[in-house]
Amino acid sequence: MRGFWKGWRKGRARGAELPGVRALCDVEGGRKVVIVALRGGPGMQRRAAGMGLHIGCEVTVMQHGGGAGGGGAVAIRSGETRLALGHGMACKILVRAV
pLDDT at 68: 59
DSSP state letter for 79: T
Residue ranges of domains in the chain: 19-97
pTM, full prediction: 0.78
Banded pLDDT at 66 (limits 50, 70, 90): low
CA 45 to CA 92: how far, in whole Å? 10
Class (C level, CATH) for 19-97: mainly beta
pLDDT tens for 30-59 read 999 999 999 989 999 999 999 999 999 999
The arithmetic mean of pLDDT across residues 60-65, rounded, is 88
Mean pLDDT of the chain: 83
Cα gap 35→22, rounded to integer Å = 10
Sheet containing 32-38: give its strands across.
Answer: 21-23, 93-97, 32-38, 58-64, 74-78, 81-85
The dihedral over CA atoms of 48, 37, 81, 74, expressed in degrees to the nearest 10, equals 90
pLDDT at 84 (0 to 100): 94
Average pLDDT over residues 63-70: 69
